[in-house]
A = this chain, B = another copy of it.
Amino acid sequence: MNDTDPKPARGRPKTMDADKVLDIAVAAYWRDDPADVSVNAICQLAGVSKPSLYREFGSEDGLMRAALDSYAERVLSDVFAILHGGRGLKDTLEALIDFASADPRMETGCLFYKMRAGKHRLGPETRARVEELDRAAHAAYESFLESCREAGELPVGLSLGPGAKYLGEQVALAITQRASGEDPASIREMLTLALSVFARP
């Protein structure tokens, strides 16, 4: 499915690079909170007129949704890859801790978590996608814990569903703290402490 000019085009050739605009939107939404970035600002940053942007993305909601999709494809996929890596409990948790507290991409936080935190401010499309990604993330955390249980690496008293939620929220907390300029070493220490409950006998 190559969607780069499948049509020979009939009318005036377009000069707007939609991918570039989307990249700029992702960067802006990601650095600042999505609620603090206006369509006007993105147009100015991208050097594109507002009607052009609206012709491409339909609405602010459409643009945010596209930005979230792009972000999920390029960044969140790494988290899913860590969880499905098939490594053991200890290694996977360490990889998660590294990602949350040391990955330079998380220096200004996570776009997904920023959107989730301000869910009520989102349009219907973007909100639905956020909830979908949230469910997918929970499922990934849970299946990871399930494989650990089968390997006998998990404390017996810990149930999978709540454990997955706990794990996900601790990672989210750590990344959110990075967005607010917290010291990475301190974040790592706290996240390590939080996840130590999984490594107990």
Q: Does A38 contact B (CB under 8 A)?
A: no
- A161-201 near B? 1/0 per residue, CB < 8 Å: 01001100110010001001000001001100110110010
Chain B residues whose CB sits within 8 angstroms of the CB of A33 once the complex forms: 118, 120
**Distance of A199 from chain B, by nearest CB (Å):** 11
Indicate whether A90 reaches chain B with its CB closer than 8 angstroms: no
Q: Which of A119, A170, A196 has its CB near the most chain B CB atoms (within 10 A)?
A: A170
Contact partner of A190 among B166, B180, B186, CB < 8 A?
B166
The reply to whether A190 and B173 form a contact with Cβ atoms under 8 Å apart is no
Report how far A36 CA is from B118 CA in the complex, Å. 11
User: In the docked arrangement, what's the CA distance between A165 and B191, Å?
Assistant: 11
Q: Is A117 an interface residue (CB 8 A)?
A: yes
A35: B residues at CB distance < 8 A? 35
Instruction: Judge if A121 is at the interface, Cβ distance under 8 Å.
Output: yes
Copies in the complex: 2
Bound complex: CA of A177 vs CA of B33, how far in Å? Answer: 19
Nearest chain B CB to A30 CB, angstrom units:
15
Shortest beta-carbon distance from A137 to chain B in Å:
15
Pair B190/A169 contact, Cβ less than 8 Å: yes
**Nearest CB of B to A150, in Å:** 21
List the B side residues contacting A120 at CB < 8 Å: 33, 36
Separation of A119 and B193 alpha carbons in the complex (Å): 26
Contact B190 A165 (CB under 8 A): yes
Q: Looking at the assembled complex, report how far the CB atom of A127 sits from the nearest CB atom of chain B, in whole angstroms.
A: 13
A residues engaging B (CB < 8 A)? 33, 35-36, 117-121, 158, 162, 165-166, 169-170, 173, 177, 180, 186, 189-190, 193-194, 196-197, 200
8 residue pairs, one from A and one from B, having the closest CB atoms: A166-B190, A162-B189, A173-B173, A193-B197, A166-B193, A194-B194, A196-B197, A162-B186
Given contacts A119-B180, A165-B190, 17 further A-B pairs with CB under 8 A are A33-B118, A33-B120, A36-B121, A158-B193, A162-B189, A162-B190, A162-B193, A165-B186, A166-B190, A166-B193, A166-B194, A169-B173, A169-B177, A173-B173, A193-B197, A194-B197, A197-B197
